[in-house]
Structure 1
Amino acid sequence: MSSRPTVVMVHGAFADGGSFGPVTSALLDDGVQVVVAAGPNRGLVTDAAYIASVVRRIDGPVLLVAHSYGGAVITVAGVEENVVGLVYLAGYALDQGETIAELQGRFPDSPLVEALVFAPFALDGTGEAGIDVSVDVARFPEIFAPDVDPAVSRLLAVSQRPLAQVAFGEPAGVAAWKSKPAWGVVSSSDHVINPDVIRFGYERAHMKVTEVDSSHLVMFAHPAEVVGVIREALATTTS
């Protein structure tokens, strides 16, 4: 009897699990077991530990699918024993010991940089403050999802899940792509992450790469292409 992996979705910054909506629906229609994880977005170390705990609760193999910042998270969490593959959607594929800031610093900034908003948040009632990073609501549609239905991108803009600034400077303790098969989707019209940042990480990891002429939110703009890559990964990793 074959054992098809459970697909665990890991969202990125400025988004939540709803960003996988069209892809999740298609996979459920295929009869695939899907878990859409609610990542904390509080820092790479914290978020990877949380996703690893989600993975460990699943009885059987897991295919991790991540968007954007979520790619950095699965790069660390993906070393869990039952993870059989990694799918990156416009996602950071960090090397061991590398930070997001270091990887991005190799390439010119994207238009996102000028649209970021920084706001303090309280840490555990101690009086100390962290910094939340989000995208200017007015500029979110044009930067994040210009090829998505404006009614959808408008809702996404006001329901962002901020990312703690500390996440940009925390190094990846491991790089799961060194021991697990990986697939990568490049959004070639991405205005959030310079596509060359993504290409560099994928090439370094020797992934099978698919390029899509898409905005950063490739799961909404081109769900069929994303589902196709996930189906290929599932077929390859099903025992």
Structure 2
Amino acid sequence: MHLPKPLALALALSATLLSAASQAATAQPAVVIVHGAFADGSDWAKVVPLLQDRGIAVTVVQNPLTSLADDVAATQRVLNNQDGDVVLVGHSWGGTVISQAGTDDKVRGLVYVAAFAPNPGQATGELYGGYPTAPGSSQIAADKNGYLYLTAQGMANDFAQDLPPAQTAVMSATQGPIRAAAFEERTSVAAWQQKPSWYIVASDDRMIVPQMQRDFAKKIGAQTTELAASHVPQQSRPEDVAKVILQAVQESQARAGK
């Protein structure tokens, strides 16, 4: 049977629209990851393929670590390039960045990995008040340009003490120093007040004391997972970190009715 040409075109257009709607309904949120200080995007090299194997689009922001404003801007540029929903992940200093940048309308959930979670108007440097001094803080040194870096000893013994020396040597060489003044910059918002959050506590952390992390998780009402890991569980426990991010993706997708 031959349909009239206008009717055939209408049916074809309807089928195309239905197919597009079906694809949109099943699309998973993308994952955008914000690395911390004394690191770069390669810090997430073990987790990224685990997410990609599940069909999730992943982008790791390369933070300049020059200021909170600059790191938020770098994250915002990546968010602008996403076509749909996003789960935003932040490690350490990256937690401050996603707390500010995560108010973007595309962001459906936040995952904090051994990360800071400041209130609106707080500076990251203020968050240590009332807690024991982290052992690794003694290994943070300043260079001649006003940037902070972690000594090789600190990388091996405090930042990533559960990784082999050959790996921590590379991490020390590729680390991103952070401008010291960044820790004095105040957030203006807290995305965790608006968005569902997940938190991974690293119970063997020597950079951000674990009790501080537990208190952050409680404050922001996060679904919390505790891992026996150093400050970089994404390096020493990548499967477990990926599992939490996948949970955030799936639950964010369900909340959106997709």
Shorter-chain TM-score tier: over 0.9
| Cα separation, 2, equivalents of 1:102 and 1:120 | 24
Q: Is residue 104 of structure 2 the alignment partner of residue 80 of structure 1?
A: yes
Partner SS, residue 209 of structure 1: strand
Match of residue 101 from structure 1: 125
Decide which structure has the larger Cα Rg and report it.
Answer: 2
Distance 1:163 1:201 in 2: 22
Matched, 1:6 2:21: no
1:46 aligns with 2:70: yes
Instruction: Tell me the number of residue pairs that the alignment of Structure 1 and Structure 2 aligns.
Output: 230
| 1:50, distance to aligned residue in structure 2 (A) | 2.0
Cα distance in 2 for partners of 1:46, 1:105 equals 25
For the residue of structure 2 that corresponds to 1:9, the secondary structure is strand
Residue in structure 1 matching 2:201, options 186, 191, 198 = 186
Aligned to 1:110: 134
TM-superposed CA distance for 1:117, in Å, is 0.9
Quote the residue 2:155 is aligned against: 140
Distance in 1 (CA, whole Å) between partners of 2:63 and 2:139 is: 23
Is there any run of 5+ residues in structure 1 with no aligned partner, and where?
Answer: 122-130
Which residue among 148, 152, 177 is the counterpart of 2:167?
152
Q: Alpha-carbon deviation of 1:68?
A: 0.6
The one-letter code matched in structure 1 to 2:201 is: V
User: Partner amino acid for 1:7?
Assistant: V
The TM-score, its normalising length taken from structure 1, stands at 0.93
Name the residue aligned to 2:9: none
Between the two proteins, what is the percent identity of the paired residues? 35
The one-letter code matched in structure 2 to 1:193 is I
More helix by share: 2
Q: Is the 8 A contact 2:139 2:153 kept in 1?
A: no
Any residues of structure 2 matched to 1:209-220 within 5 Å, and which? 209-220=224-235
Contact between 1:15 and 1:160, CA under 8 Å: does it hold in 2?
yes
CA contact (8 A) 1:76 1:174 kept: yes
Letter paired with 2:214: R
Deviation at 1:139, TM superposition (A): 2.9
Contact 1:56-1:80 within 8 A present in 2 as well: no
CA RMSD of aligned residues (A): 1.0
Distance (Å, rounded) in 2 between the aligned partners of 1:175 and 1:47? 15
| Alignment-mate amino acid for residue 20 of structure 1 | W
Q: Give deviations 1:192-211, integer Å, cap 9, x for gaps.
A: 11112211111110101100
Structure with greater proportional strand content: 1
Cα distance in 1 for partners of 2:36, 2:233 equals 12
Question: Residue in 2 aligned with 1:164?
Answer: 179
Give the deviation of 1:160 after TM superposition. Answer: 0.9
Please tell me the residue identity of whatever aligns with 2:194. Answer: S
Native 8 Å contact 1:99 1:168 kept in 2 = yes
| Per-residue deviation, 1:55 | 0.6
Structure with larger RCO (C-alpha < 8 A, sep 6+): 1
Q: Which residue of 2 aligns with 1:225?
A: 240
